Structure 1
Amino acid sequence: MDLEKPPARQQRQPAPEGCLVVAVRLPVRIVALVLVVPVRMVWDALVVAGRFLDDTVLRPLGRALLWLGRALFVWPFVGLWRYVVVPVGVGLGWLGKVLLVVPAVWLYRYALTPVGHACAWVARGIGAGLAWLHARVLTPLGHYVMWVLRGLGAVLGAIGLGVFGAVAWLARYLVVVPALWVYEWILTPVGRALAWLVRTVATGIGVTLYWITRVLVVLPALGLYRWVLAPAGRALAVVGREIGDALGHAWRVAGRISLVVGRFLANLFRWIFVEPVRWVYRTVLTPVGHAVRDAVLRPLAEAARGVGRATRQALTAARESVRQARADFRRMLFGESRERETVAGREPRGRETRTLGSSTTALTKD
């Protein structure tokens, strides 16, 4: 069974590299790394600046411009369409219906429809008369004319058939048979000879042109391609591939270097600026803010609330005084108003409300 198993697939070994590849790779990678590192760092800096600019300037500016565009262009047109064009269109539609559609419908229903029915009745009468004329007069007359024409056609056909037979016999033996003999015994051999001569000449010219082209064009071009262009192309392909690989490798290495430098600069900025600012905020500004809040802002707020309560109480007292003065003035001018007679309600008020234990209903009253 082991002998029947297929052999395991061997891993493909990389093709051996030539001396040109080894000689080109290291210098090209060094030069590419030296040239690409500044470009990659500038690129990363531009990317970070572009993202910061997009987040802080471009997006808010875009939102503002979008809102301004809506306020200047969209909303006025929407308002114009909703509150001017639509009402005017509805009014014009109603006016057109009243002035055009309703009269047109009335005209069609009460004028054109009766006239059309009358015209249809007249047309049906004319059609019936024409049908009677066709069936009773024109059809028998046509049948008689066709019978006469068929008789004349039979006579003329017999005469023409005899004439045609004679003409056809004469044309066959005077024209067709001589022409066929000329074509078969004269024109065909001459045409075959001319075709053979043309084919032979064309073949010779073609073979001559083929060898001339092969010797003067194809073989030199083939030698140039095989011994000059192909080796040069292979060398340029190796150089180009190595340059591309070197640029890719240098770009990746430059990205890592740029990342390390960026992290170093970020940590440096953090320890130089962010951490001192955070320490000042935590250890200085926060206690000072709490002290200012407890010592100044809260007493000021309490005083403001006390002033507000006193002001509201003063305004309430002033409104009561004005109301009382107005009532006294009205009483002085018009006298005391008659009080309405109070009617005893069915339900007791105040503390004498009905409870489950009280006898206030007619059925439970003592």
Structure 2
Amino acid sequence: MDQEKQPHVYGRHQAPAHYETGDGCLTTLIRIPVRIVVLVLVLPVRMIWDVLVATARAADRVLLRPLGRALSWLGRVLVVVPLVLLYESVLTPLGHGLRWLAAVVGQGLLWLGAAVFVWPWVALWRHVVVPVVRYGVVVPVVWFHRAVLTPLGHGLRWVYRELLIPAGRGVATAVGLLLTVLFVRPVVGVWRYLLVPLAAAVTWLVEHLVVLTLAWTYRELLTPLGHGIVRLAGLLARGVAAAARGLGAAVVRLVMTLLVAPVSVLYRRVLAPVGREIATAIGVAWRIAGFVSRAVGRAIARLAWHLIGAPATWVYRTVCTPVGHVVRDAVWAPAKRAAVEAGRAARSALNTARESVRQARRDAWRALVGGGPVPEPREPVRPLARTLGSTTTVPSAAPEPEISLHKQG
């Protein structure tokens, strides 16, 4: 029934974890002492392992986690809170002041740079360079082009079109005829009646004396010789390959017979069963050692509870808890309230000082660069209130400040 529930399909050389060989009484008699010996060897290791695990868990629960929380609280109190107070009380106002000073200095430097470098060059370009170039260069050049160059160009174009083009056509015809008689006809005669027959004779000599001789040598001598060499090389290669295959097969058969077969039999008949039995014995011994170790641990824990835990619990509930309540109600709560009130007073003083610094900075900025017009005091205008779900206003309804729910808290 158990085998039907297991969906695993094992191979030919693979056995399940609960594999038990049916070799008879001899195997059982050998297996039991082996498991007893392995249990004796594994039990101390398992107990030491359980002690280490329990010690690590107790140290994490009792020492490391409280120590981490204490260090976190200490870092927050000693580092984070002072840094936040320093940032809000000192660095933020100092940064605002430096930014305001940098803005003032930047505006001054921009004005000074524009007054020293930009405005003189703009005035020079606008009132000196542009008039000089316009009335000293552009206007004379335009007049010279319109009054002199344009009529001169039109006259030259008429001379070229009406005089030079007809005369050039006759001169070109005469020059072409003269060049043909002096240069083209002699070159054509030399090429046709001298160079072409000479090249044909040289080609016939090269073909009959060199090409035909080389072709006969290649066809009658080199080709049969090459075929013979290729056939001989193929025969030698096939012989060497056959010898190598025979030698390799002999070496493989020898290695399989003398080395692989004995090793395979040794592994299959000796090493694999011994290893499987040792692994099974170690697993069984580890589980039994775990049961024993847990039983010993429960006994030690119960003894420690009755000797140490129960008295400590009684002392904590009877003595420490009332004393702690008294200290909490009589000392800690008043000190906490006083610290909260002092913190609120300090924050109020810091907010007042920060607002004073901001107002002083605004006044200094208005004194240096000026500000907008101060609105005249007048009667406040009461806005008309809106009805819920509509954009219309109701004159008779009392106005309410339009403050979001998030800001109202």
TM-score (norm 1): 0.48
Q: TM-score normalised to the size of structure 2?
A: 0.43
Relative contact order, higher structure (CA 8 A, sep 6+): 1
